[in-house]
Amino acid sequence: MFFTYLRRELAGRRRQTAIVAIGMALAIALVMIVNAVSTGVKDAQASVLESVYGVGTDLTVSQDPTPPEEGEEGGGRFEFGADDGTTSGDSTEISQSRLTAGFGSTTFDASALDTVTDLDGVAAASAALSLTNMTFSGEMPQRMQEAPTDGTAPTDGDTAQEPPTGGFDGAGGSAFDVNSFSVLGIDPGAEAVGPLSAVELADGRGLEASDAGQAVAVLDASYATSAELAVGDTIDVGGTELEVVGTVTSTSADAATASNVYIPLDLAQQIAGLDGQVSDIYVQATSSDQIATVQADIEEALPDATVSTQADLAASVSGSLATASSLISNLGLWLSVAVLVAAFLIAILFTIQGVTRRTREFGTLKAIGWSNRRVVGQVAGESLVQGLIGGAAGLVVGLAGIWVVNLIAPTLGGSAGTTTAGGGPTMAGPGATDGATAAGPFGGVSDAAGATTEVVLNAPVTISVVAIAIGLAVLGGLLAGAIGGWRASRLRPAEALRSVA
Amino acid sequence: MYTLENVSKTYTQSKRKVTALADVTLTIPSGQLVAIQGPTGGGKSTLLQMLGALDRPTSGRISLGESELSHLPDRKLGGIRAKEIGFVFQGFNLIPTLTAQENVETALAPLGISAEERRRRAVDALASVGLADRAGHVPGELSGGQQQRVAIARALVKEPDVLLADEPTGNLDEETRDEIMDLLEGLWRDRGLTLVIVTHDTAVAKRAERRLHIKHGTVTER
C-alpha cells in the first residue's frame, strides 16, 4: 500500500513533484560543480606549490628581509675598471655578471638546517640558496675618443672638427642590456624534499652528490630553450662558466620549474660570496598531524625565522588561480548555500502545503484506522522520493556541468611567493623572482624564463562529489518529510474532518 | 452495543465556551439502525465523532462493547477504528489519486493483511456495492453515487460491527439517495451491523428503526 500510494501521489501531483525535484536538482548540481571546481582549483594550487616547493614539503623556513643598515649598499652595483671591456675599432664592449641573493629573500646561517633536522617529527629537510644572476652588458664608444691622452683639455675647435664615432650607432652612442635569471643553489644529494622532488629529467642528468663543488648546472627546460642552451653548453653564472649537464621539467605543471638554473649549494655560496648562508629550508614532517608541532618547535628554535605551512603557502599563490580560488570560496560557496537553502525551503513549503491541502485525506485515513506513524511515514516517504528524484536529476546535471567545465578547460595562471611589507610573513620561494622581465635602462630587454605556472583547470568527479549529491538529496527529502510529517502527525482526525466540513 | 453515560463535550471558540453535547445518556443496542436528526450546530456530528472514537468527551463515559472509548489512548482508539468501526462521509472523502480498488484497500492497510488478500477483499467489496467494473477508476472518473458506493465498500471491507454514516446522501440527488439508502439498508440487514446515520433528510430518517433528535447538545427520542 505504501508504495502504491506513494507512486500514485507523485504521479498524480506531477507539477509539485517536478518543481521540488527541479529545485533540488539545480541546487545539488550547483553544489557538485562548485565542489568539483573547488577541488580542481586546490589541485591546481598544489601543482603550483609543488613546482616551487617540491612534492612532500610540509613546511618552509625562511627569514623576513631586513632593510639595509646605514652606509650599507642596498644592492650590488656593476663597477668597471679602466681596462675592463674589449675594444674593437671605435667601440668598447663591456659585460659583467653578478650573483646576488634573490629579490625578496634574506639569507641566514646554514646551521639552521642542522637545528631543524635534529627536531623531533622532522622526516627530512634540505636547504637552498635562492639567487639572482644579473648580467650587465653593453657597447660604448672607445674611451680614447672621449678625452685626449696628453692631459690637455679639448678645445671647442677640436670637437667641432672631429664628430664622435664608435658605439652601437657609430656616432658615439651607447647601448646596454640587463639580463637576469634565477639560480637556486641546492644540496645535490637531497632529492627527497625540496624543489628537485617536483621535477623530472628532460635531458642529460640531474645533480648528484658527487657534483658538490663542481662547476656544473642543471637548467629548467623552458629556460634552456628560451636562452638557446643545451646539455654540453656552458652558462655564465656570476662570472663563472658552468657546464650544463642536464635539463628538467616540472612533474606537476605545464610551465617552468622553481628556478631557471640549479647548481650545487656550496658552489652557489662560493660564487655569490655567501659562504655558510642559505635562504630557504624545506621540511617534511613524519606525519601530517606532526606539522603543527614541528612548526612550533622550529619557531622556538629559530626565533628570527618565518615558518610557513602548506596552508600559508597556498595563500601565497597569486594570479588568476588566486582569483578563481577566491571566487570559488566566496561567491561559489555562498551561491551554493543560498540555492541549497532555497531548494530545501521550496521542498519544505511544498510538503507543508501538501499536508495542509490533504488535511481531509489524512483525517479520513486516521478515521479509518491509520496510525500516526503510518501517515507520517507516507508523507516522509513521498518527500524522500521527491528529494531522490531531484538528487538523480541533480547528479546528471552536475556531471554535465563538470563535463562542460572540463571541456572548456580554463587555464589558470599562478605563481607562489610574495613578500608583504611591514614585516609580515615572507613567503618568498626560490622562484619568486622568476617571471621578471628585466628591462635594461637603456632600452635593452632580455627575458628571464617566466615561472608563472599555467595550469589547466580540471574539475574531478570524485566519490565525495557523488556522495554529496546523494547526501543532499536524502537530507533535503528527510528534512521536508520530517517537517511535513510532524505537521501531519499533529492532525487530530476529528478536527481534520471538521475543518473541511 | 454503545453505552453513553452523562457525556458532555465543550469547545472553546473565540474565548467562548460552546457546549456541543450536554449530559447525554444513551444506549444503542448492537444491530440497530438509528437515525440522528437535528438542526445545524445541534451536536449531530460531535455525537457521531464520539461514537466513532474520533474524539473524547469532556466528561462522561462512552463504551463500545467492552471498550471504554473515553479513556483509551490514541493508539488503541486507532485500533478500534481500524477493526470495528466503518465510516461513510457526506463528501465521500476518497483519496483522489488512488483507484476505487486502492481506496477500498486503504481500510485494510492497518490490519496487516497481505497485498493479495487485500486486493481480493477489495474486489469483493466493490462487487457487493455493484462497482466491480469500476475498480480501476479514480474518483474523478466516477459519479457522486458511485463515489459514495466506493466509500461504503471501503467502510465495509474490514467487516466492522458498526457503520457510522454522516449525511451519506447529503450530496446526492433523490434517485441516487434512494439507491444508496437501499444499499445501506440491505447491508445492515444482511450483515447485522449497527448502523447510525446522521441526516437532515426526513425521508432517510424514516427508514431507521429508531430516530433520535439532537438540539443544543441534548438528545431526545422521536
Which pLDDT value is given to residue A418?
38
Cα nearest neighbour of A493 on chain B: B54
Decide if pLDDT at A434 tops 50.
Answer: no
Number of domains in chain B: 1
Predicted local confidence at residue A329, as pLDDT: 67
Give yes or no for residue A466 having a pLDDT over 60.
yes
Looking at every residue in chain B, the average pLDDT score rounds to 90
Does A497 sit within 8 Å of B78, measured CB to CB? no
CB A449 within 8 A of CB A223: yes
pLDDT band at A444 (very low <50, low <70, confident <90, very high): very low
Summarize pLDDT for A230-274 with one digit per residue, the tens: 999 999 888 889 999 999 887 765 555 778 899 999 999 988 888
Chain A: closest CA distance from residue B169 (Å): 15
Element (DSSP H or E) covering residue B43: none
With CB atoms and an 8 Å threshold, state whether A361 touches B93: yes
| Residue A310 or residue A185, greater confidence | A185
Q: Is the pLDDT of residue A107 over 50?
A: yes
Q: Burial code of A209-220, b = ≥16 C-beta within 10 A, e = fewer?
A: eebeebebbbbb
Would you call B95 and A492 a contact, using CB atoms and an 8 Å cutoff? no
**Per-residue cell: B53:** 472514537
In a domain, residue B75? The reply is yes
- Number of alpha carbons in the 13 Å side-chain half-sphere of residue A210: 1
- Mean pLDDT of the residues in chain A: 76
- Chain B positions touching A498 (Cβ under 8 A) are 45, 49
Per-residue pLDDT tens digits for A340-380:
787 788 878 888 888 888 888 888 999 999 998 999 899 88
Torsion from C-alpha of A12, A13, A18, A20, nearest 10 degrees: -140
Q: Look at residue B110 and tell me if it is in a domain.
A: no
Check residue A343 and give its pLDDT. Answer: 77
- Give the ipTM: 0.92
Averaged pLDDT for residues A38-62? 73
Q: Tens digit of pLDDT for each residue in A122-152?
A: 888 888 898 888 888 888 777 555 555 555 5
Secondary structure (DSSP) of A293-341: HHHHHHHHH-TTEEEEEHHHHHHT-BSHHHHHHHHIIIIIHHHHHHHHH
Which percentage of chain A shows pLDDT scores above 70? 74
Q: What residues does each domain of chain A span? A: 2-46+322-415+452-498, 85-303
Provide the pLDDT for residue B175. Answer: 86
pLDDT cut 90: percent of chain A above it:
7
- Is B36 inside any structural domain? yes
- pLDDT tens column, A419-433: 333 333 333 333 333
**pLDDT digit string (tens) for A55-80?**
567 788 888 766 666 655 555 677 77
Higher pLDDT, A361 or A494: A361
- pLDDT score at B126: 94
User: Which of chain A's residues have a Cβ under 8 Å away from the Cβ of B155?
Assistant: 368
* Distance (Å, whole) CA A194 – CA A128: 8
What is the reported pLDDT for A160? 53
Residue B48 in domain: yes
Angstrom distance (rounded) from CA B130 to CA B143: 13
User: Given B97, B109, B110, which is nearest A8 (Cβ)?
Assistant: B97
Which residue among A11, A361, A368 sits closest to B81, beta carbon to beta carbon? Answer: A368
Q: Taking residues A156-181, what's their average pLDDT?
A: 70
Report chain B residues whose CB lies below 8 A from the CB of A9. 97
A-B Cβ pairs (cutoff 8 Å, strict): 83
Beta-carbon neighbour count of residue A130 at 10 Å?
31
Q: pLDDT band at A91, cuts 50/70/90?
A: confident
pLDDT digits (tens, 9 = 90+) for B48-69: 999 999 888 999 999 998 889 9
pLDDT in tens, A11-37: 888 888 888 888 888 888 888 888 888
Classify residue B104: in a domain, yes or no: no
Domain assignment of residue B137, yes or no: no
Question: What is the per-residue pLDDT for A59?
Answer: 82
Q: Does residue B95 sit at the A interface (CB-CB below 8 Å)?
A: yes
Task: Write out pLDDT tens, residues B126-152.
Answer: 998 889 999 999 999 999 889 999 999
Among A5, A372, A493, the residue with its CB nearest the CB of B54 is A493
Q: Per the CB < 8 Å rule, is B82 touching A372?
A: no
- Determine whether A43 is exposed, middle or buried from the number of CB atoms within 10 Å of its CB (0-12, 13-18, 19+): middle
Residue B45 belongs to domain with CATH number: 3.40.50.300
The nearest CA of chain B is from the CA of A495 a distance in Å of: 9
C-beta of residue B6 within 8 angstroms of C-beta of residue B24: yes
Looking at residue A442, its pLDDT comes to 29
